[in-house]
């Protein structure tokens, strides 16, 4: 893997000029693909824009969505009226290290684009998750693909990985969670277009549908209490550390993360069904 270049992701790097250039270029690309080359309809866009622009100061935001193609991010933010090129408002996003950070050039580019490298299969306590926690502590916006990989079939939302739930629980300030489901990116960038490969450029004249849900909030004290109660007879098997300051053991954490993940998955599935039927 390439160097993770964490320093390139700092807003002070070269006065922030390289980051602004990347967001202008990538933002323009997203706008062209979403609004000029294809038609994009967004349900409940005002909620997302409000949460990005004017949520209470210091409150972190986590958006979660299904993962249909390699273009989901950034093109899903390219719809009309969204501040795609605003560097300060822009999301941080967890990005696969084996794809986006496999050499120094790619690492530098994606770091400028506010991407955090995540090693798939390395678990929820890998170093990169601490970096994501730092961004939440700053009150930033973090986007995640909790299914963990691309799926282009018209199928129900898959079981979510525990990374999102662990960040919600471990963040010093509980984030607001906003679920999003989109359809159509699998046609703009199909995984098996020609000879089992993706097309070299995004396809045109496709319909993209983005359904934005309502903010989700979690009563963590109550959920922790329930998790401790139902996990008494579950044996630990992964060697996780106890979480501070609540000192939940591994069994309680697994119960808690499963409960939160299922609540998010259920809401995402409702959005998927709404989008399919609309």
| 192-218 tens-digit pLDDT | 998 889 999 999 999 999 999 999 999
226 pLDDT above the threshold of 60: yes
Element of type H or E holding 222: helix 220-230
In this prediction, residues 55-74 reach a mean pLDDT of 97
Residue 243 is predicted with a pLDDT of 64
> Of all helices (H) and strands (E), which one includes residue 260?
helix 250-277
Structure tokens at 98: 């084996």
Q: Is the dihedral of CA 115, 96, 148, 224 positive or negative?
A: negative
Q: Report the alpha-carbon distance of residue 136 to residue 133 in Å, rounded.
A: 5
What percentage of the chain reaches a pLDDT higher than 90?
85
Task: Kindly report the pTM of this predicted structure.
Answer: 0.94
Is the pLDDT reported for residue 232 higher than 90?
A: no
Q: What is the pLDDT of residues 147-203, one digit of tens each?
A: 999 999 889 999 999 999 999 999 999 999 999 999 999 999 999 998 889 999 999
**CB neighbours of 130 closer than 8 A, spacing ≥ 6?**
none
Band the pLDDT of 1: cuts 50, 70, 90: very low
Q: Tell me the pLDDT of the chain averaged across its residues.
A: 93
Query: Quick check: 121 pLDDT over 90?
Result: no
Three-state secondary structure call for residue 181:
strand
Residue 2 has pLDDT above 70, yes or no: no
Asked if residues 180 and 11 have their Cβ atoms less than 8 Å apart, the reply is: no
**Helix locations, 32-77, DSSP H:** 45-54, 72-75
Predicted confidence band of residue 3 (pLDDT cuts 50, 70, 90): low
Query: pLDDT class for 120, splitting at 50, 70, 90?
Result: confident
Q: Which residues of 142-156 are buried (b: 16+ CB within 10 A; e: fewer)?
A: bbbbbbbebbeeeee
Looking at residue 261, its pLDDT comes to: 98
Quick one: average pLDDT of 13-35? 97
């Amino acid at each position: 893997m390439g160097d993770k270049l964490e320093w390139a992701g700092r807003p002070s790097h070269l006065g922030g000029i390289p980051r602004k250039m990347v967001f202008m270029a990538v933002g323009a690309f997203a706008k062209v693909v979403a609004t000029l080359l294809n038609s994009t309809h967004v349900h409940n866009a005002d909620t997302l824009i409000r949460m990005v622009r004017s949520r209470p100061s210091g409150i972190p935001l986590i958006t979660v969505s299904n993962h249909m193609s390699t273009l989901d991010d950034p093109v899903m933010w390219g719809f009309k009226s969204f501040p795609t090129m605003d560097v300060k408002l822009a999301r941080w996003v967890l990005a696969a290290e084996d794809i986006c950070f496999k050499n120094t050039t790619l690492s530098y580019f994606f770091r400028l684009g506010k991407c955090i490298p995540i090693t798939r299969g390395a678990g929820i306590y890998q170093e990169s998750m601490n970096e994501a926690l730092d961004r939440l502590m700053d009150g930033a916006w973090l986007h995640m693909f909790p299914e963990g990989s691309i799926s282009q079939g018209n199928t129900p939302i898959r079981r979510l990985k525990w990374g999102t739930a662990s960040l919600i629980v471990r963040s010093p300030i509980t984030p607001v969670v906003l679920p999003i489901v989109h359809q159509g990116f699998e046609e703009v960038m199909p995984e098996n277009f020609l000879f089992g490969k993706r097309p070299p450029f995004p396809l045109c004249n496709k319909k993209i549908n983005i359904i934005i849900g309502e903010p989700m909030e979690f009563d963590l004290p109550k959920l922790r209490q329930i998790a401790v109660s139902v996990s008494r007879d579950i044996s630990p098997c992964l060697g996780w550390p106890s979480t501070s300051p609540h000192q939940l053991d591994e069994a309680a954490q697994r119960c808690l993360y499963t409960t939160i993940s299922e609540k998010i998955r259920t809401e995402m599935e409702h959005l998927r069904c709404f989008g399919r039927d609309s």
